Amino acid sequence: MCDRVFVEWADGTWLSSGHNPEFQENLAEMVATSGPPSKVEFRAAGTGYLPVTPCEDCGLSYAQCHCDDLAPDPPKEPSLLDKLHDHYLDKYGHLLDPPSS
């Protein structure tokens, strides 16, 4: 168990950052599909934890699984999160460069 961010939508779908290296990508996809979440919580290790139930067909978590063929088409234009990421990367990306000696 680990500290994590828990995100839930009004329709009952949810996503957790715990043990999910693709959390940012999954979150952007879920927001593009379902809109803004209804709940975002920080959950410390050992609190509010239910293990991920994998898909019986592919073994991925249901947030990553597309076995039901209901995967949304990719957005025609960049999502709001992509635009924000690009904006802040352009504005502050230089801070990520290692300092010159």
Q: What does the pLDDT read at residue 52?
A: 63
Q: What does the pLDDT read at residue 63?
A: 63
DSSP letter string over 26-73?
Answer: HHHHHHHHH-S-SEEEEE-TTSS-----B-TTT-SBTTT--TTS-PPP
Domain map (residue ranges) of the chain: 4-95
* Tens of each residue's pLDDT in the chain, 101 residues: 678 888 999 888 889 888 888 999 999 999 999 999 999 988 877 666 566 667 778 877 666 677 766 655 555 676 777 778 788 778 887 777 777 76
Pairing verdict, β 39-43 and 4-8: antiparallel
Gyration radius of the chain over CA positions: 16
Q: Is 100 helix (H, G, I), strand (E, B) or coil?
A: coil
32 token code pair: 């593009």
14 vs 3, 72, 93, 99, CA distance in Å?
16, 17, 31, 40
